[in-house]
Structure 1
Amino acid sequence: MQSFQNRTVHRTVLNNGMVVLLVENPAADIIASRIFVRAGSRCEPRHQAGLAHLLAAVLTKGTSRLSSLEIAEQVESVGASLGADATPDYFLLSLKTVSSDFAQMLDLAGQLLRAPTFPEAEVELEQCLTLQGIRSQQEQPFAIAFEQLRQAMYPDHPYAFSSLGTEATVSQLTCDDLHHYHQTYFRPDNVVISLAGRIAPEYALELISEVFGDWQAPATPLPALVLPVPNPKPQQIVTPLQTQQSIVMLGYLAPSVRCAETTEAPENSSEPLNFPTTKAVSADYAALKLLNTYLGNGLSSRLFVELREKRGLAYEVSALYPTRLDTSQFAVYMGTAPDNTATALAGLRTEVERLCNVVLSDEELQAAKNKLLGQYALGKQTNAQLAQVFGWYETLGLGIEFDSSFTAAISAVTAPVAQQAACRYFSEPFISLVGPAAAVTQVPVVALS
């Protein structure tokens, strides 16, 4: 049991290895639960990209005891919400209900996790819907630009693809593939259950033990997942597309949230093999999170003010630096008029490289800290947010204490430290351009330093 920002987080590990987290919050008669499986698309073979997403789409479509219609009726009859999702680094089953119905919904979640049937008709339907989604992405300039940027940056890594997968891979997936993935990764010692709401810790553990206590982990260990550390040569990729604007993206390989790149557990470790074992956080993670906020977070960000407000170059402009278990990416992007494509590219690169050449002022640094920490605090107000945040930390191996260590790390970043991080990662960009042929094909290949 640990306390963070006036919230007590109860942590328990069941005999079968399942981790249970609980934040008791009696303010509202609602319980939110997030059930994480340490899997996601990073555990997919390359030729099965989209497998985790498809599994999420059909997980709620049938169990050994319930049909898809019966599952939907159970959820809707009590006004609850229940859904599944797959991200690059984990699989997630989410539910929210009033306190009096939580036991019923938890039992349903247990059936879905432990005994899904993946009806063939439902799988075929979701495959068709996923293929439609992929084709829709292929018509969206931003999606195309981001896809080709990822594939250039992660040539041999699962992060290269959208979570939907590709037409070629999704069309070949079978019910047997779903069952194999489920049997491999859906096991109690690979699951984190995070709860927040009006429920006593003792009662919550009693309910969870009733639903999951007899679920035993197989004797076989989780498969070792050793993924390559991306190290491709930066390049400029161009896709002509008849559209009203050009999309300009710069990408830089950036550190994961964890220090260790390897995900292989040492001999005799009790940790799953596809899961990092050290809680050490990358030294540059906090600095880059802060620079991401400074550059591209909101209407007061550097990119918005300089490139949109002052120069009128951007329809939209922003930056992103996702938290990842493996090597992440720091990206800046802009939507601009086709005639401004080359100017926009130069402007984006100038603003990123400025971080290496100019030390942030005390005022700029503090404003970025205030914005980042304020948004971080506001992201932990509801039961659903609390269940998500603490479960996510546990699933990534950061520990619930990361809630405090992250804010301390952000507060400790100095302007020289931020500049040093920028110089380490922002020297050679991957460049992705999508737009009218006359605009994007005429942009000279930028000389990479």
Structure 2
Amino acid sequence: MNDRKPRIRPAALAALLAVALGLSSVPASAALDPRFDPSKLTIPSLHPIKEVKPSRAVLGNGLVLYLLENHDLPVVLGQSYVKGSSLWEPANKVGLGGLTGEVMRSGGSAAHSGDWLDDRLAAIGASISTRIDEDLATAGFRCLSENTKEVLGLLAEVMRKPAFPEDKIELSKVSLRRQIAGRNDEMLDVLQRTSAFAVYGKDSPYARVPEYATVEAITRADCVKMHAQCFAPNRTVLVIYGDFKKSDMQRLVAGAFGDWKRDPAATPALPPLPARAGNRVVFAPKDDVTQSAVVFTHIGFKADSPDYADMEVLERALGGGFQSRLFNHVRTQRGLAYATGANSGAGFLRPGLFFAYSLTRNDSVMAALDLVRDEVRRITREPVTPEELKVARDAVQNSFVFNFEQPSAVAFRAGFYEMAGYPQDFLQRYQKALESVTATSMLAAGQRQIEPDKLVTVIVGKEKEFDRPLAAVGPTVERMDITIPPPPSKAGAAAGAASPEALARGREWLKRAADKAGGAPAWAAIKSWSEDSKVSVSMGG
């Protein structure tokens, strides 16, 4: 919710290149003109945040409603934040939460099928989405203002009475199986998963991942139960922004959600987090790579900590950009990494993970490890220089404006803060705290939030090409097996073997999928297609 990483858009990049090319043809005398010297530019302070307050109301069933009108465009956006979590899924059915959130939308409601929803929403240029993630569940919509009543009603159907048809559950399982099959393909995915195993423990709900066996075990009854656990009006904050009148929208929401029965049961608590343990070394072999990775990590803190502002500036100084210590020392000066950086460890709904990492050649893993470890220790032992402080704090403050890039962000942030238990003026307090960050306060925060002696060292890569033996890192190295267990149905069968019944069922599914898309004539009629997408690029070094 508070992502302040600078983003570079293609248009902006093109403009910068044009300026650079233009300057290359300017005479040397003009280039020395002090008016064009960046070091002499005066950068004004950021203005205080202009306070915009959405209206707040509570329905009789406990649903909290935030509304903010904006008539610039004939568009209405809605987002609900729900105190639900995929972590509530049973250990033998990991993947249930994500699957349930997906099929809520793809399977439609008791009144309208998912395929009907696809067609109708496409016809009116609208969308509805649902998710159940580790920290919260969400359901949202976007539509033209003239279709608000209809789309809001469809959202209510999906949130309250999803159908969970068997065919859509099976399609979602296919997607999960595909993800399982490819989860060792990318180094960063393996590093992230291994780090979670190392910090939380392999059997922790925070580290569990779907397996073929857990996905195969999921039933429709499980989806119905998971939905009931998560979605209830008294766990929901609904935010609506855009082209409408407040009084009209209040009536629409009351009509769509007012008779939704509240859940008398207490909201389940999230699983407890483990305490930071002693220093450990965890290694996951990945022999099909020329680049390996190393990360130092342990459990972080919540963003409501008094140390939040100091730690965000510390992150920037340590490993948050091209002028950070890690980038300068590991990549620029030593040439050992094509990517390196750090994260403060802040999380909004629960403590995040502090980490400092480097991706490097197999034959320089240990050298990069030494440098990253030294910089983490140094940031907790001595204050940054005045120049480092200014560069890091200015970068955080200047990127702060991206919190307000879209006017709708004010409304959605209000709903998220209520669901997460944060004060509505959290960002105003954060902005004020940033102004008070000093080298001394940052050092004190780093000493409280980073414990070098309790960091877990995680290494992923090709061991036989390392520049030093793993034993040089520590006396005990825990080796993690990242092999993907086979599906239960294939555990005792020859690879690729399938029964005639399974083959017949597969052909049936393929035919049904093709028929849903219009059959062979529809596919043959396709000559070309176009896609629209939005991409954000974060330059973190």
Which one of 61, 73, 88 corresponds to residue 28 of structure 1? 73
Which one of 426, 433, 439 corresponds to residue 451 of structure 2? 426
- 1:35-74 equivalence runs, <5 A: 35-60=80-105, 61-74=107-120
Which one of 146, 156, 160 corresponds to residue 207 of structure 2? 160
Q: Is contact 1:229–1:327 with CA below 8 Å preserved after alignment?
A: no
Q: 1:209 to 1:287 in 2, by over 3 A?
A: same
Counterpart in 2 of 1:240? 285
Q: Is contact 1:146–1:432 with CA below 8 Å preserved after alignment?
A: no
For residue 387 of structure 1, report the CA deviation from its aligned partner: 4.6
Counterpart in 1 of 2:223? 178
Q: SS of the counterpart of 1:7?
A: coil
Q: 1:170 to 1:4 in 2, by over 3 A?
A: farther
- 1:78-157 equivalence runs, <5 A: 78-155=124-201, 157=204
Query: Higher mean Cα deviation, 143-152 or 300-309?
Result: 300-309
Q: SS of the counterpart of 2:240?
A: strand
Q: 1:442 to 1:137 in 2, by over 3 A?
A: same
For residue 394 of structure 1, report the CA deviation from its aligned partner: 1.8
1:211 aligns with 2:256: yes
Counterpart in 1 of 2:414? 390
- Which structure has the larger Rg? 2
Q: Is contact 1:308–1:317 with CA below 8 Å preserved after alignment?
A: yes
Counterpart in 1 of 2:266? 221
For residue 39 of structure 1, report the CA deviation from its aligned partner: 1.3
CA distance in 1, matches of 2:139, 2:394: 33
Q: SS of the counterpart of 2:332?
A: helix
- Identity %, equivalent residues: 26
CA distance in 1, matches of 2:172, 2:76: 29
Q: 1:249 to 1:401 in 2, by over 3 A?
A: same
- 1:391-410 equivalence runs, <5 A: 391-410=415-434
Q: 1:352 to 1:231 in 2, by over 3 A?
A: closer
Q: 1:191 to 1:405 in 2, by over 3 A?
A: same
Q: SS of the counterpart of 1:303?
A: helix
Give ranges in structure 2 of 5+ residues lacking alignment: 1-47, 476-541
1:446 aligns with 2:493: no
C-alpha deviations, 1:121-167, integer Å up to 9, x for none?
Answer: 111111121121122122222111111111111126422245xx344
Counterpart in 1 of 2:335? 312
Q: SS of the counterpart of 1:23?
A: strand
Q: 1:288 to 1:160 in 2, by over 3 A?
A: farther
CA distance in 2, matches of 1:331, 1:166: 26
Q: 1:116 to 1:349 in 2, by over 3 A?
A: same
Q: SS of the counterpart of 1:35?
A: strand
- TM-score, normalised to structure 1, is 0.87
Give ranges in structure 1 of 5+ residues lacking alignment: 258-280
Q: 1:373 to 1:15 in 2, by over 3 A?
A: farther
CA distance in 2, matches of 1:168, 1:232: 31
CA distance in 2, matches of 1:303, 1:366: 17
Q: 1:134 to 1:230 in 2, by over 3 A?
A: farther
Letter of the 2:291 counterpart? Q
Counterpart in 2 of 1:256? 302
Q: SS of the counterpart of 1:193?
A: strand
C-alpha deviations, 1:304-346, integer Å up to 9, x for none?
Answer: 2332222211111222335242332111222111111001111
Q: SS of the counterpart of 1:22?
A: strand
For residue 384 of structure 1, report the CA deviation from its aligned partner: 5.3
Letter of the 2:305 counterpart? S
Query: Higher mean Cα deviation, 439-448 or 324-333?
Result: 439-448
For residue 48 of structure 1, report the CA deviation from its aligned partner: 3.3
Q: SS of the counterpart of 1:238?
A: strand
Letter of the 1:409 counterpart? A
Q: 1:360 to 1:113 in 2, by over 3 A?
A: same
Q: Is contact 2:276–2:298 with CA below 8 Å preserved after alignment?
A: no
Query: Higher mean Cα deviation, 338-347 or 296-305?
Result: 296-305
Q: SS of the counterpart of 1:118?
A: coil
Counterpart in 2 of 1:272? none
Q: SS of the counterpart of 1:137?
A: coil
Query: Higher mean Cα deviation, 336-345 or 128-137?
Result: 128-137
Letter of the 1:286 counterpart? A
Q: 1:64 to 1:16 in 2, by over 3 A?
A: same
Equivalent residues, number: 421
Counterpart in 2 of 1:262? none
Q: 1:203 to 1:151 in 2, by over 3 A?
A: same
Letter of the 2:372 counterpart? L
CA distance in 2, matches of 1:204, 1:293: 42
Counterpart in 2 of 1:333? 357
Letter of the 1:216 counterpart? K
Counterpart in 2 of 1:285? 308
RMSD after superposition:
2.4
Letter of the 2:225 counterpart? H
